Amino acid sequence: MTSNRRRAAALFASLFLLISFIPVSVLGDEGMFLPDTLNDLPIKKLQQMGLKIPLTDIYNPNGPSIKDAVVIVDGGTGEFLSSEGLLLTNHHVAFDALVSASDPTKDYATNGYLAKNRGEELPAKEYTVQITQDLKNVTSEVLSGVTDTMSAQARSAAIGAKIRSIQTANAKPDDGITAQVQPLNEGLSYYLFTYLTLRDVRIVYAPPKNIGFFGGDPDNFEWPRHDGDFTFMRVYVGADGKPAEYSAGNVPYKPKKFLSISMGGIKENDFVMVMGYPGATKRYRESYSIAYNQDVFMPLFANLFHAQIDALQEEGKGNRDLQIKLQSRIFDIANTLKDFEGSVIALRREGVVDQKRKDEAEFTRWVNANPDRQKKYGDVLPALQKAYEELAKTQPRDTLVAQIAGVDDTFDVAGVIAAVAADKEKPQPQRNANLALVAMQVRAAVPGVLAERMPGFERRVLASLLREAAELPAGQKIETIEKRFGSLTGDARVRAEEEFARSIAESKNSSSPQAMNALFDMSAAQLRDLHDPLIDLASDLNGLSSDADARTRTFNAIVARWRPLLLSGMTEMRANKPYPDANRTLRFTYGEVKGYVPHDAALYQPFTNLSGVIEKDTGREPFDAPEKLKQLYRARDFGPYATPDGQNVPVDFLSTTDIIGGNSGSPIMNGRGEQVGIIFDGNYEGLGNDFFYNDAKDRAISVDIRYVLFIADKFGGAGYLLKELDIKNAPASLRRAA
């Protein structure tokens, strides 16, 4: 469900430019609410649904609460389950750590991992855990220097400067405290979030891939699911209690709060609630944005992702070590690909663009009915429409330029080399002082970049991008590409593109750190004389990339100027208060355990069981259930984790809780705040839920906590962990064992 690959995440963040709106008089169980707004929720409704604890048990700024147990783990969410820093998250959230620790002799990504004691716990390389310390509304401070007479660019610069100042003032690097100011409601408000970042994270128990990702990509986003998507980790600090890098002398972190677990089970229509860190929703986007994403952005990237997956799979053929390293990257791309394709279908099926246009027509009539409203809001939609018209003139060309310039890190290095050489030709006063520092850092990184290089992948992906460029409409052709191939047509052009891509992948000038670093010392004339295809391409693209970046900044500044007014006007017209879009900050959502009707003549029940795993088993990946699991099923050796009739083990369940990517690993709790499962996915029919919420079909998919304990104990041999847990409603046999 989530993408863990940091570079991909950064790319999507930079490209998802655009945003819209839906009121908080929400339908069904819609809404991802900030913790400090829980008092605004319909508390009587929640209590009638089944909430048994006071809201201060969920969020309390003056004392420990569930908020302190729920944390950011890499690209997902996790939760503390013991006073000894034991953490539960998804298998797919921890998967990169398993891949990083693997090699052909120990494939933890496939086989899983069990630490029999704390000394064997496996370092999760580059993983951190972030705990929200505080959240505070700082809107007045951020907007204190903004005036109505400012240009869009000046307004954006003033807000950015104030945000940086606030963040600097509230960060405490020596104590591991970072600060982030986030815009909410399209910049109508701003919040300061402070985080404690812990850097020593270790894997305790991860099931094998054929449990943790049972069903693989065919089952991804689908129901029914039979996936045991969980991993136990542990978080450590230095002996002084402060954040520290990995060290054998570190001690387990003592969280302010950890969750209890309920073995009591759940049933249909039970109240459930979730706290987690959803990544990004775009439910307040104007119709122009929805249309752009539906018709341009997501279809384009779906094509690119198909090409990347094919290239990565081809690259790994015959190289088991590389296959192990690439499997997480392939999963992340495939996950996003399926999300994009499903979202396009959902947006078109539900007519979201047309609905947005109806809302905007209603807004226009409301504005025009009053001179004061006309003065305040009359320019909003025309200004946004004009911004998108300008965007359309250079999209998707600008996106393809960025993709070609960044096929992989080698292309990024080549871009810096070309920029340094061009800068040398300028008079000394006009040279970029920062570029020399960047060049020094990039030169130092070259050995690592080339060590990770995959020439075959570069060749295939570049060739696919050149094909996309050839299909651009006449007014958006990329000049430097057309200069090379524009005189050719049909198969002749395809062959020329493929040969050009091959010449880049096989260039001697990027075959070793010594050869590539030597290019940094050359002048622009010397580089031109080399006729190196990668350097020539990077040089040509640098100017185009700079122009595209400038257009993006201008677009962002314009929409940032008008979107707050649009949301403000919509809020005034509808007389309601909108919940803010998700933005990777802590959120609360609630709902009930419930199935759905996916299509005509079908009804999906909300629960799956171990018997379903056995039914799906084919003996071949991704439906290759482990033999030991099948033996446990045949023997009905379920221990205290069985269904009430003793004939099965609960596996996954559905709920109406409103979640999105980033929520992976979030605890799903009953009305007493006890964990009954762990979120790991959404359903296919609910895709597009980053743009709109569909009460009838949108469902969150969770692993039942009883399956987590069953796999850890009966299958994995990690039953000793249960001694750390606070388990409610446990059968007598389990209490005796603990």
Q: What is the pLDDT of residue 598?
A: 95
Peptide bond just before 224 cis, omega within 30 deg: yes
Whether 613 and 629 have beta carbons less than 8 Å apart is answered as yes
* Angle 163-79-683 from CA coordinates, rounded to 5°: 90
Q: What is the pLDDT of residues 63-111, one digit of tens each?
A: 999 999 999 999 999 999 999 999 999 999 999 999 999 988 999 999 9
* Angle 415-418-423 from CA coordinates, rounded to 5°: 125
SS3 of residue 213 by DSSP: coil
Whether 651 and 704 have beta carbons less than 8 Å apart is answered as yes
Calculate helix-pair angle for 533-574, 352-368, nearest 10 degrees. 50
Structure tokens at 702: 């969770």
Q: How far apart are the first and last CA of the chain?
A: 34
Helix (H) or strand (E) holding 203: strand 200-206
Structure tokens at 290: 């929805």
SS3 of residue 132 by DSSP: strand
Taking only Cα atoms into account, the Rg of the chain, rounded to an integer number of angstroms, comes to 27
Parallel, antiparallel, or unpaired for β 700-704 and 675-682?
A: antiparallel
CA distance 318 to 544: 38
Question: By CB neighbour count within 10 A (0-12 exposed, 13-18 middle, 19+ buried), where does 394 fall?
Answer: middle
Name the residue among 203, 199, 202, 201 with its Cα closest to residue 245.
199
Query: b/e map of 603-625 (b: 16 or more CB within 10 Å)?
Result: ebebbbbbebbeebbeeeebbbb
Q: What is the pLDDT of residue 129?
A: 98
Query: b/e map of 566-589 (b: 16 or more CB within 10 Å)?
Result: bbbbbbebbeeebbbbbbbbbbbb
Structure tokens at 529: 């004389």
Phi, psi at residue 181, to the nearest 5°? -105, 125
CA distance 414 to 411: 5
Name 428's Cβ contacts closer than 8 Å, sequence gap at least 6. none
Q: What is the pLDDT of residue 28?
A: 58
* DSSP conformation class of 327: H
Query: b/e map of 141-153 (b: 16 or more CB within 10 Å)?
Result: bbbeeeeeeeebe
Alpha-carbon torsion angle 62, 66, 71, 75, nearest 10: -130
Helix (H) or strand (E) holding 8: helix 6-15
Structure tokens at 525: 């004339």
Bridge partners of 678, per DSSP, are 667, 703
Whether 57 and 51 have beta carbons less than 8 Å apart is answered as no
Peptide bond just before 278 cis, omega within 30 deg: no
Q: What is the pLDDT of residue 576?
A: 87
Q: Which residues of the chain have pLDDT under 50?
A: 2-27
Give the rounded distance of the alpha carbon of 468 from its chain centre.
26
Name 430's Cβ contacts closer than 8 Å, sequence gap at least 6. none
Whether 115 and 204 have beta carbons less than 8 Å apart is answered as yes
Alpha-carbon torsion angle 9, 13, 14, 19, nearest 10: 160
Helix (H) or strand (E) holding 737: helix 732-737
Structure tokens at 632: 């446990």
Query: b/e map of 417-435 (b: 16 or more CB within 10 Å)?
Result: bbbbbbbeeeeeeeeeeee
SS3 of residue 552 by DSSP: helix
Bridge partners of 172, per DSSP, are 177
Q: What is the pLDDT of residue 737?
A: 57
Name the residue among 672, 727, 624, 738 with its Cα closest to residue 214.
624
Q: What is the pLDDT of residue 736?
A: 58
Structure tokens at 673: 């705040």
CA distance 688 to 343: 4
Calculate helix-pair angle for 533-574, 409-424, nearest 10 degrees. 100
Structure tokens at 261: 């677990």
Structure tokens at 382: 């025309």
Helix (H) or strand (E) holding 502: helix 490-505
CA distance 447 to 326: 20
* DSSP conformation class of 68: G
pTM of the model: 0.91
Annotate 419-467 with three-state secondary structure.
Answer: HHHHHHCCCHHHCCHHHHHHHHHHHHHHHHHHHCCCHHHHHHHHHHHHH
* Other CB atoms within 10 Å distance of the CB of residue 338: 18
In the numeric block, the tokens 């257009």 are attached to 551
Structure tokens at 275: 């706290």
Domain boundaries, the chain: 402-548
CA distance 108 to 98: 5
CA distance 148 to 595: 50
Query: b/e map of 366-382 (b: 16 or more CB within 10 Å)?
Result: bbeeeeebeeebeebbe
Structure tokens at 505: 């992948």
